[in-house]
Amino acid sequence: MAGPLPLGDPAPPDGRLPADLRIDPHAAFSAYLHVPFCRVRCGYCDFNTYTASELRGARQDAYADTLIREIDLARAVLDEAGALRPMDTVFFGGGTPTLLPAGDLARMLGAAVDAFGIAGDAEVTVEANPDTVTPEVVAELAAAGVTRMSIGMQSSVPHVLAALDRTHRPENVRTAVRWAREAGLAVSVDLIYGAPGESLDDWRASLETAIRLEPDHISAYALIIEDGTKLARQIRRGEVPAPDDDLQADMYELADELLAGDGFDWYEVSNWARRGTDRDQRSRHNMAYWRGTDWWGFGPGAHSHVAGLRWWNVKHPAAYAQRLAAGESPAAGTERPDPDAANLERILLRTRMAEGLPVDRLEPDARPRVAGLIADGLVDPVAALRGTVVLTLRGRLLADAVVRTLTD
């Protein structure tokens, strides 16, 4: 299970938005639907997820009905605030959304579409464990309006999967991609690099396997050791080595080289989309987060953001269900970041994107520092001359240092 929720102000029991909140009725709106169930807990995972033994009174078979109650509440809250808008993106994340029957996911999506409406070109993504994907599942999801599947590959090397406590069969990734394609879905695969015992050759094998699948999108994340996870305890006890920063940097450079050579463009530090297709293959949902637009997060522990206001739900599925059964909002807390905090986050997120950060969004005393970042090879000089901070490959490896330079 994930760590504690953020500190914040108490959330109103009815979920009502503050009367002084200034909401742009034309701003993009997204929905995130959290499915917090997993068969087993991966040793590195810090997400708000629960195995069957951890549910303590919550019912997986009743989850869709429970989440639909929050959708009904959200519609009432946004309608009262004059902020109802059709969804531009929808994302089912987890956990493992495909542990639920496809019909449950379809009902949740249908309820959200009925409540808010949906744009004609909306992106609707479902995360999937490859062992839970069948032709029938993807066909039912596609018929319900899903347009994209994000498949958790992580690695193609058995000993790396074992180090991550991943239980799926590597060969099932290939069949999951094929079935998703046959159903007309766009496909993304997720990779993790830097696991204990993973060599640069292991990582090359995983990248080459992923590329041979011909997905539309690839995410490649450096393994981060989160406090409270099984992997953190193993490292602390000396049972496995901690990730090697230099090796992870080599792995990142290899990923960028191989992906660029096969027609992928980076658009965020950890994400690459295939170029030259008839549609934009970037994750529009994730871009909504990075650009700071509005979204409502449904489900236990999910976070929401509307017009600068943030709130987050109670974590445990049982507590979440109890709140909604009582006719109350599941929100546990709320906050409005002050201008300095909001600006710091904007710089942090936008510098990670290939579209970059406009220099004029920096504080006046920070703008001259861009020249030093160019001299250090961290920022693209041509983009900077056009008024945008865009990271070089070296800058992507040192993105946090760039942010510190621009904000300290």
Mean pLDDT rounded to a whole number for the chain = 95
How far apart (Å, rounded) are the C-alpha atoms in residues 287 and 27? 14
String of DSSP letters for 334-401: EE---HHHHHHHHHHHHTTBTT-EEGGGS-TTTTTHHHHHHHTT-B-HHHHHTTEE-B-HHHHHTHHH
Given a cut of 90, whether residue 111 has pLDDT beyond it is yes
pLDDT of residue 45: 87
Q: Which amino acid is at 232?
A: A
How far apart (Å, rounded) are the C-alpha atoms in residues 389 and 345? 15
Q: Averaged over 68-97, what is the pLDDT?
A: 97
| Residue among 109, 147, 131, 403 at smallest CA distance from 283 | 147
pLDDT of residue 310: 97
pLDDT of residue 46: 84
pLDDT digits (tens, 9 = 90+) for 183-228: 999 999 999 999 999 999 999 999 999 999 999 999 999 999 999 8
Given a cut of 60, whether residue 70 has pLDDT beyond it is yes
For 248, phi then psi, to 5°, come to: -65, -35
pLDDT of residue 58: 87
For residue 151, the surrounding DSSP H or E stretch is strand 148-154
pLDDT digits (tens, 9 = 90+) for 316-334: 999 999 999 999 999 999 9
Question: Residue 225's CB: how many other CB atoms inside 10 A?
Answer: 15
How far apart (Å, rounded) are the C-alpha atoms in residues 134 and 125? 16
How far apart (Å, rounded) are the C-alpha atoms in residues 246 and 243? 9
pLDDT digits (tens, 9 = 90+) for 117-168: 999 999 999 999 999 999 999 999 999 999 999 999 999 999 999 999 998 8
Tokens at 351, concatenated: 């510098």
Q: State the pLDDT confidence band at 3, using cuts at 50, 70 and 90.
A: low
pLDDT digits (tens, 9 = 90+) for 19-36: 999 999 899 999 999 999
Hunting for tokens 């002084």 — which residue is that?
Answer: 20
pLDDT of residue 5: 75
Q: State the pLDDT confidence band at 279, using cuts at 50, 70 and 90.
A: confident
Q: Would you say 314 and 330 are in contact if contact means Cβ atoms under 8 Å apart?
A: yes
How far apart (Å, rounded) are the C-alpha atoms in residues 266 and 66? 38
pLDDT of residue 258: 98
pLDDT digits (tens, 9 = 90+) for 364-380: 999 999 999 999 999 99
Given a cut of 60, whether residue 181 has pLDDT beyond it is yes
pLDDT of residue 332: 97
Domains, the chain, with CATH or none:
29-290 (3.20.20.70), 356-408 (no CATH)
pLDDT digits (tens, 9 = 90+) for 378-391: 999 999 999 999 99
Q: State the pLDDT confidence band at 2, using cuts at 50, 70 and 90.
A: low
